[in-house]
Structure 1
Amino acid sequence: MSHHFQSISFQGMRPGKRLIILGGVHGNEPCGTVAIRRILDELERGTLTIESGSVTFVPVCNPLARSQYTRMGERNLNRRLVPTDFPQQFEDYVANWLCPLLSSHDVLLDLHSFHTPGRPFAMLGPRNNQGDLEPFTHEAEEEALARHLGVELFVDGWLDTYASGVRRRQQMSGCDEQDVQYGVGTTEYMRRQGGYGLTLECGQHEDTAAPEVAYRAILNTLAWLGLSGQVKPTEAANRTTLRLFEVVDRESPDDRLARGWRSFERLEAGELIGIRADGEELRAQEAAHIVFPNPDAEPGCEWFYLARAVDRV
C-alpha cells in the first residue's frame, strides 16, 4: 500500500520561533488531527493569522496506522525515532521524512490521547543536565510553555523510567527494543536536536472533549510564543506534577489488573493493583499514582507505570 506524507507551513512577516505541531503519530488517536484541521481552516479563512516566526502542521504523521485506525502501522513510530539508511518497516520511512523536519524547528507540540479514561496532561522533559541519557538546556522555556497549554496535570521522568524497564526486559521476549534508545520519540528527538517540545495527552482516544483540548492548546501555544499576535494565555492554576519512578510489565496474557484503573488514580500503600497468572499479587509498596494502565498490553511490554507527586511546574 502506497502512502504520502504531508506538512503545511505558514510564515509570518516578522522573525520568531519555528514551531511544529504533530497529530496522528499513533493512528487511533484522532484528536490532534481534528484540532489541526480546524486550525488550518481558520488560517485559510483568515480568522487566524501567523504574524511572526513560522508554524508547520503535520495532521497525520503515520498515514498507514491512520488508514488502519491502529496505534501503529508496522511498529510504534514514537519509539526508536531515528533516521536510517536501511528502512525496512513503514515507520522507518516516516522517520526518514519526519526527523529532518523536526530538526528544522525550535519548538514541538505533539498531540496524543490515551487508552483508558483520565485527565488531560502534558509530558515534560528532564531538568537541565549534561548527562548521557537526555542532556537538556531548555527547561525554563519548556516549563513556561507547559504552564500555558491549558492543562493542570504534568508528568515527567519518562525516559529514565523507560530505560530501567528496557534494561529489565532485555532478556524477555515480546518486545523488539534492543536498548534504551527505544524510548526516544518525537520530543526526545527534538531535544537531542537542540530544541524543546511537549507531548500533550488530550484525553481518552474517543473522548469528544479531547479535540477541544488539543485545539485550545494549539491556540495557546501560538499566542504564548508570539506567533499569532493573540493575547497570551494565563497560567493554569492548581498545577500538579507527577514523576514516574517504576514501570511494570505484563508477563502473561493471563495477568490481569485488579480493576479498571483510570490513569492517575491514587493508590494507597498495600493496595492491590494486579494479579499475575500464577496468582502473585502486585500491591503498591507506597502511596502513589497509577499511570498509563493498559489491560490489553502485550506480554513483555509495559502494563502500567507508578508515579509520585513532586514539586516542579
Structure 2
Amino acid sequence: MMPDFYREDIGIEIGNTRFLKVLTGENPGPVMIFFGGIHGNEPAGIIALERVLSELDPENFNGSIYAISGNLNALSKNKRFLDYDLNRMWTSARMSKRSFERKVYAEDLEQLELDAILHKIIDKHKTALYFIDLHTTSSKSLPFITINDSIINRRFSKLFKVPVILGIEEFLEGPLLSYINELGYVSLGFESGQHTSKEAITNAESFIKLALNFSGIVDHIDIEKEYKFLKKATRSNEKIYEIIFRYNIKREEHFKMKPGFSSFEKVEKGTLLATSDERDIYLSKTATLFMPLYQKKGEDGYYLIRKIKPFFLNLSALFRNMNADSFLTLLPGVKWQNSAKSALIIDLKIARFMAKPIFHLLGYRSRELGPDFIKVSSRDRRSKTHLYKDLAWYKKTLSVKKGF
C-alpha cells in the first residue's frame, strides 16, 4: 500500500486505497459506482467522495455505493498520468485483446485492477447501475456533464440542471465511460471546475448528493440546498451542447494555449487562441470554446461546441423510440457491422448523402475507417433500458418539487 499524500495547494490529505468507500444499505436497491482520480492531477472528486460518503448511515439508504480511486501512482505524484493516459486506454481493440495484461505501461496495472473491480460489481448486482466519473479541468469552467449520447444518459443527466455535452465519443477513443456505455449502463462524467480550486470540491459534493438522490439510493439529504448551490455555480446554464471540433495535439508537437480563456466562453472569429511549434492558431469562425488546455500533459488542445435546440433533441428522442434506424439498411451503401446491430458501416462511394446530423438524430456517432467508409455506432441499441424504464426519472415523472 502506498503512503498517504498531502496536497499543499489544497491543504487536504488524500486517501490512497483503491476503494475509498464501499457502503451497503439495509434495503436492496440500485448501485452507484463513483470513480475519482482517473487523472492523477485531479483529486477534487476523491476529496468530495470522502466528505459526502463519510456522513452517510447505511441504515438510511437503499442499495450499494462504491467509491473507487483511479490512477493511484499518478495521484501520489500529482501527475495526469505516468506513461499513458488511463482515460484513453479503454478502446474496444485494447479491451478485447486485453493488452493491459502485458504490463508494458505503469497504467496497465491500474487498468487491470479497475477492469477486474468493474466486472465483479456488474456480476454481483443485477439491478440498475449508475457509473459516475468525477473530473476537473485545467482551465476555468462552469461545472458540466459529459455523456455518450443515449436516451438513458440524456434523461438521467437532464435532472441535474447543469450544462450537458454530447458527442465526445465521436472525437475521443478509449475513455472509461465510453467502455461502460458499450456495456449498456447509465454513465456520466462530471467536471466540477478547475483542478485545484476549492469550488471544484464543493461542486462535486453537491453533484454526488444529487446523484444519490435521483438514483433512489438516498432520500434524506437536503437536496434543495445542493440543487440551488449547483445551479448558482453553473450560472443557471441548463443548455445541451454538442462538440463540433477538437484540436488534436500530435506527438512531439509543442502546443501552448494563450492565457485567459475559459470553457463556455464565446470567442470571436480571428482570435489568437494558441501557438503550435511557434505557429499562431487563429479561430476560423465565431464559436463557443470548451476545455482549453492549460497543463503540460494532454492530447486535447481545445474543443468547440454549439447549443442544440430543444426541437432537435425531442425529434431525436421520438425517432429513437420508434426505432427509425431499422430502416437505414434499406438504403444503398448501408449495412450492419455485425449481428448485434449496434453499429453500421457506410460506404461513402454510394451513400455520400448520409450526413452526420441524420445519424445524430437517430443516436449514431461516427468514426472514419478510411477514405471511403465510416462506422457509426448507437449507444441506445446497447443500453440495458429494461433496468431503468420503470424508474421515475426515466418516465419523466420526477418533478423538481418531488425530487427535492
Question: Is the TM-score greater than 0.5?
Answer: yes
- Compute the displacement of 1:23 (Å): 1.1
Report what 1:97 is aligned to.
113
**TM-score, reference length from structure 2:** 0.61
Deviations 1:14-53 (A, max 9, x none): 332221011111111111111111123212xx3x755222
CA gap 1:189/1:25 in 2 versus in 1, 3 angstroms: same
Distance 1:263 1:146 in 2: 19
CA deviation after TM superposition for structure 1 residue 259, in Å: 4.1
Q: Which residue of 2 aligns with 1:186?
A: 176
User: Where do residues 20-39 of structure 1 align in structure 2 (5 Å cutoff)?
Assistant: 20-39=33-52
Distance 2:148 2:184 in 1: 13
Q: Distance in 2 between matches of 1:278 and 1:89?
A: 31
In the alignment, which residue of structure 2 is the partner of 1:122? 145
1:40 maps onto 2:49 in alignment: no
* Partner-residue secondary structure (3-state), 2:42: coil
Secondary structure in structure 1 of the residue aligned to 2:219: coil
Is the Cα contact below 8 Å between 1:148 and 1:221 reproduced in 2?
no
Instruction: Give how far 1:91 is off.
Output: 1.6
- Partner of 1:212, secondary structure, is helix
Q: Given the alignment of the two structures, is residue 109 of structure 1 paired with residue 125 of structure 2, yes or no?
A: no
User: Using the alignment, how far apart are the partners of 2:106 and 2:275 within structure 1?
Assistant: 36
The aligned amino acid for 2:153 is E
2:29 is matched with 16
Cα pair distance change 1:298/1:22, threshold 3 Å: closer
In the alignment, what sits opposite 1:153?
A: 163
Distance 1:256 1:7, change over 3 A: closer
1:110: Cα distance to partner? 1.0
CA distance in 2, matches of 1:4, 1:298: 25
Alpha-carbon contact 1:9-1:56 (below 8 Å) kept: yes
Is the contact between residue 50 and residue 227 of structure 1 (CA under 8 Å) also seen in structure 2?
no
Which residue does 2:218 correspond to in 1?
A: 228
- From 104, 107, 110, the equivalent of 1:88 is 104
* Alpha carbons of structure 1 residues 272 and 38: separation in structure 2 relative to 1, 3 Å: same
1:143 to 154, 162, 172: 154
- Assess if the C-alpha contact under 8 Å between 2:72 and 2:110 holds in 1: no
Name the SS for the 1:228 alignment partner.
coil
In the TM superposition, residue 7 of structure 1 has moved relative to its aligned partner by: 5.0
Richer in helix (by share): 2
Length, aligned pairs only = 274
Name 1:131's counterpart in structure 2: none
Q: C-alpha distance in 2, partners of 1:145/1:37? A: 24
> 1:27 and 1:85, CA in 2 relative to 1: closer, same or farther beyond 3 A?
closer
Structure 1: stretches of 5+ with no match in the other structure: 128-138, 163-182
SS at match of 2:170: helix
Q: Which runs of 5+ in 2 are unaligned?
A: 3-15, 123-128, 314-404
In the alignment, residue 106 of structure 2 is paired with which amino acid? F
Partner of 1:169: none
> SS of the counterpart of 1:209?
helix
Q: Determine which structure has greater relative contact order: mean sequence separation of CA pairs < 8 Å that are 6+ residues apart, divided by chain length.
A: 1
Alignment correspondent of 1:52: 62
What residue identity is the alignment partner of 1:75?
Y
Cα distance between partner residues in 2 of 1:196 and 1:100: 19
Secondary structure of 2:164 counterpart:
strand
Structure 1 residues 292-303: aligned runs within 5 Å: 292-297=291-296, 301-303=299-301
Cα 1:275–1:65 change in 2 (3 A) is: closer
Do 1:10 and 1:50's aligned partners in 2 also have CA atoms closer than 8 Å? no
Are residues 1:213 and 2:203 paired? yes
Closer/same/farther in 2, CA of residues 49 and 217 from structure 1, 3 Å limit: farther
Alignment CA distance shift 1:50-1:144 (3 Å): farther
2:303 alignment partner in structure 1 = 305
In structure 2, the residue corresponding to 1:229 is in which secondary structure? coil
> How far apart in 2 are the matches of 1:295 and 1:216?
26
Contact 2:101 2:108 in 1 (8 A): no
Report the Cα distance in structure 2 between the residues aligned to 1:54 and 1:255, rounded to whole angstroms: 43
| Cα shift readout 1:88-119 (whole Å, capped 9, x = no counterpart) | 22221221221233343421111111101111
Q: Assess, with a 3 A threshold, how the Cα gap between structure 1 residues 15 and 265 changes in structure 2: closer, same or farther.
A: same
Task: State the superposition RMSD in angstroms.
Answer: 2.8
| Equivalent position of 2:331 in the other structure | none
8 Å CA contact retained: 2:256, 2:276: yes
> Who wins on radius of gyration, i.e. which is larger?
2
1:145 touches 1:221 (CA, 8 Å); kept in 2?
Answer: no
Q: 1:69 aligns with which of 61, 78, 84?
A: 78
1:78 and 2:90 correspond: no
Partner SS state of residue 28, structure 2: strand
Structure 1 residue 269: Cα displacement: 3.0
Question: Structure 1 residue 304: deviation in Å?
Answer: 1.2
Q: Distance in 2 between matches of 1:88 and 1:254?
A: 26
Shift of 1:154: 1.6
Counterpart of 1:194 in structure 2: which amino acid? Answer: G
Identity of aligned residues (%): 23
Q: Deviations over 1:190-210 (max 9, x none)?
A: 111221211100000111111
* Letter of the 1:99 counterpart: D
Shift of 1:71: 0.8
Look up the match of 2:389.
none
AA aligned to 1:307 is I
Contact 2:80 2:297 in 1 (8 A): no
Q: Deviations over 1:107-166 (max 9, x none)?
A: 111111110111111102114xxxxxxxxxxx2x322332333x521212112123xxxx
